């Protein structure tokens, strides 16, 4: 029983600490919080910016949010730090262009808002 408990706790801790860095070039910006990243292996990965939200295309400011994200990341090589997928199969990630945290920059510019229900970062 003790060994099973240790295995269970170890599995839970590793699930919470898992993080994957995906590096690639942004080949498409779907909207203000979703991109397509092309990896060096030529694999396209749909990424949803974690912990933020933007208006959808067709809603007020939706096109502005898309343009803002596109201005930051389109055709740029960046790193997506992820630890899970959403219910649509998209990778949820924090995006970094060098040292610039894109998710936070979108909020700072007023083109996105913090999705407080899912945010774990006090900043």
Spot the catalytic one: 20, 41, 48, 123.
48
Is residue 90 among the annotated active site residues? yes
* CA pair distance 105, 102, nearest whole angstrom: 5
Spot the catalytic one: 25, 87, 90, 99.
90
Spot the catalytic one: 25, 56, 81, 105.
56
Q: What's the CA angle centered on 107, arms 104 and 109, to 5 degrees?
A: 110
Is residue 48 among the annotated active site residues? yes
The residues assigned a catalytic role are 48, 56, 90
């Amino acid at each position: 029983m003790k060994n099973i408990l240790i295995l269970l706790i170890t599995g839970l801790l590793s699930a919470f600490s898992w993080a994957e860095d995906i590096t690639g070039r942004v080949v498409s910006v779907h909207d203000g919080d979703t991109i397509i990243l092309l990896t060096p292996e030529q694999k396209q990965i749909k990424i949803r910016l974690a912990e933020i939200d933007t208006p959808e295309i067709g809603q007020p400011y939706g096109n502005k949010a898309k343009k803002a994200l596109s201005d930051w990341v389109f055709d740029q090589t960046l790193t997506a730090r992820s630890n899970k997928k959403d219910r649509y199969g998209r990778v949820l990630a924090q995006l970094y262009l060098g040292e610039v945290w894109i998710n936070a920059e979108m909020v700072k510019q007023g083109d996105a808002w913090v999705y407080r229900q899912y945010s774990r970062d006090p900043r």
